[in-house]
Chains A and B, each alone.
Chain A
Amino acid sequence: MGIFLIKRFGVMTLTALVLTFIVFFLTNLYPNLEKLAKSQGNQRMSDAAVAGYLEKNGYLEPIVLRYGQWLGIVPGWRRQTEDGTIRGRCVEFGMQPDEIPTRCGLLQGNLGHSTVAKVAVNEIVWKRLGASGVLMFWVMVVMVPMAIVVGVLAGMREGSRTDRSLSTFAITTTATPEYISGVVLVALFASSAVGLKWFKGSAASALNDGVTFDNFTLPVLTMALYGMGYIARMTRASMAEVMTSQYIRTARLKGVSFHMIVLKHALRNALIAPFTVIMLQFPWLLTGVVIVETLFNYKGFGWTLVLAANNNDIELLISCSMAAVVVVLITQLISDIGYVYLNPRIRIS
Chain B
Amino acid sequence: MTPLNWGQIFAQLLIQFVPVWVTLLVIFAASITFKRRLGLYGKLFDSKVGMIGFGIVAFWLFTAIFSEGVAIAGINLVPAIATFDPLVQIAELKNKVPGTFIPDSEELAYLLGGDNLGRDVFSRMVIGAKGVMSIAPAATTIAFMVGITLGLPAGYFGGRFDTSLSFVANLVLAFPVILLFYLLVTPEIREAGTEIPLWLNNTWTTSIPNILAAILFAFPIVFFIILWNSKFFTQPATRLLLISLTLLLGFWAYSGLAFNADPLSAFGLGVFGMSPNLLNVFVSVVFVNSPTVFRIVRGLTLDIQTRDYVAAAQTRGEGPWYIMLWEILPNARGPLIVDFCLRIGYTTILLGTLGFFGLGVSPESPDWGSTINDGRKLLSIYPHPALPPALALMSLVLGLNLLADGLREESLKD
Which A residues are within 8 Å of any B CB, using their own CB? 11, 15, 18-19, 22-23, 26-27, 29-32, 35, 171-172, 174-177, 179-180, 182-184, 186-187, 190-195, 201, 283, 286-287, 290-291, 294-295, 302, 305-306, 309, 317, 320-321, 324-325, 328-329, 332
Residue of B nearest to A34 (CB): B188
B88 within 8 A of A: no
Given A171-B401, A175-B345, A175-B397: A187 in contact with B178 (beta carbons within 8 A): no
Q: Are A30 and B177 in contact (CB under 8 A)?
A: no
Complex-state Cα separation, A187 to B349, whole angstroms: 20
Q: In the complex, which of the residues B174, B183, B394, B402 contacts A328, with contact meaning CB atoms closer than 8 Å?
A: B174
B326 within 8 A of A: no
Query: What is the interface of chain B mostly: helix, strand, loop, or mixed?
Result: helix
| B182 contact set on A, CB distance < 8 A | 305-306, 309, 317
Q: Are B191 and A186 in contact (CB under 8 A)?
A: no
Complex-state Cα separation, A23 to B181, whole angstroms: 12
Given A175-B398, A179-B356, A305-B179: A19 in contact with B171 (beta carbons within 8 A): yes
Q: Are B387 and A192 in contact (CB under 8 A)?
A: no
29 contacts between A and B (CB under 8 A): A15-B167, A27-B183, A29-B188, A29-B192, A31-B192, A35-B188, A171-B398, A171-B401, A171-B405, A176-B394, A177-B349, A179-B356, A179-B372, A179-B373, A180-B394, A183-B376, A183-B379, A186-B376, A187-B386, A191-B380, A193-B380, A201-B379, A201-B380, A283-B176, A287-B176, A291-B178, A305-B178, A305-B179, A306-B182
Given A15-B174, A183-B387: A191 in contact with B352 (beta carbons within 8 A): no
Given A291-B353, A305-B179: A329 in contact with B398 (beta carbons within 8 A): no
Residue of B nearest to A35 (CB): B188
Residue of A nearest to B53 (CB): A171
B135 within 8 A of A: no
B78 within 8 A of A: no
| A291 contact set on B, CB distance < 8 A | 178, 353, 356
| B356 contact set on A, CB distance < 8 A | 179, 291
Residue count of chain B within 8 Å CB distance of chain A = 47
| Distance to closest chain B CB from A189 (angstroms) | 10
Complex-state Cα separation, A287 to B353, whole angstroms: 10
| A328 contact set on B, CB distance < 8 A | 174-176
Q: Are B379 and A324 in contact (CB under 8 A)?
A: no
Of residues A19, A176, A294, which shows the largest number of chain B Cβ atoms within 10 Å of its Cβ?
A176
B62 within 8 A of A: no
| A35 contact set on B, CB distance < 8 A | 188
Which 8 residue pairs of A and B lie closest in terms of their CB atoms, listed nearest first? A187-B383, A31-B188, A175-B398, A175-B397, A309-B182, A29-B192, A286-B176, A26-B183
Q: Are A177 and B353 in contact (CB under 8 A)?
A: yes
Given A171-B401, A201-B379: A183 in contact with B390 (beta carbons within 8 A): yes
| Interface set, chain B 356-412, CB cutoff 8 A to A | 356-357, 369, 372-373, 375-376, 379-383, 386-387, 390-391, 393-394, 397-398, 400-402, 405
| Distance to closest chain A CB from B283 (angstroms) | 14
Q: Are A192 and B381 in contact (CB under 8 A)?
A: yes
Complex-state Cα separation, A70 to B188, whole angstroms: 23
| A309 contact set on B, CB distance < 8 A | 182-183
B271 within 8 A of A: no
| Distance to closest chain B CB from A233 (angstroms) | 10
Q: Are B174 and A283 in contact (CB under 8 A)?
A: yes
| A26 contact set on B, CB distance < 8 A | 183-184, 189, 208
| A295 contact set on B, CB distance < 8 A | 376
Residue of B nearest to A321 (CB): B179
B265 within 8 A of A: no
| A321 contact set on B, CB distance < 8 A | 179, 183
| A329 contact set on B, CB distance < 8 A | 174
Complex-state Cα separation, A29 to B352, whole angstroms: 27
| B391 contact set on A, CB distance < 8 A | 180, 184
Q: Are B383 and A194 in contact (CB under 8 A)?
A: yes
| Distance to closest chain B CB from A139 (angstroms) | 16
Q: Are A180 and B393 in contact (CB under 8 A)?
A: yes
| Distance to closest chain A CB from B94 (angstroms) | 15
Q: Are A174 and B376 in contact (CB under 8 A)?
A: no
Contact string, B318-360, partner A, CB cutoff 8 A, digits 1/0? Answer: 0000000000000000000000000001000100110011000
B134 within 8 A of A: no
Complex-state Cα separation, A85 to B273, whole angstroms: 54
| A191 contact set on B, CB distance < 8 A | 379-381, 383
Q: Are A325 and B175 in contact (CB under 8 A)?
A: yes
Of residues B176, B178, B186, which shows the largest number of chain A Cβ atoms within 10 Å of its Cβ?
B176
| B401 contact set on A, CB distance < 8 A | 171, 174-175
Complex-state Cα separation, A329 to B175, whole angstroms: 9
| A172 contact set on B, CB distance < 8 A | 398
Given A26-B189, A171-B402, A192-B380: A187 in contact with B174 (beta carbons within 8 A): no
A sample of 17 more A-B contacts (CB under 8 A), given A32-B186, A305-B182, A325-B175, is: A15-B170, A171-B405, A177-B353, A179-B369, A179-B372, A180-B391, A183-B375, A183-B387, A183-B390, A184-B390, A187-B386, A187-B387, A191-B379, A193-B382, A195-B383, A309-B183, A328-B176
Q: In the complex, which of the residues A186, A287, A324 contacts B380, with contact meaning CB atoms closer than 8 Å?
A: A186
| B192 contact set on A, CB distance < 8 A | 29-32
Given A35-B188, A286-B176: A187 in contact with B379 (beta carbons within 8 A): yes
Q: Are B174 and A325 in contact (CB under 8 A)?
A: yes
Contact string, B186-208, partner A, CB cutoff 8 A, digits 1/0? Answer: 10110110000000000000001
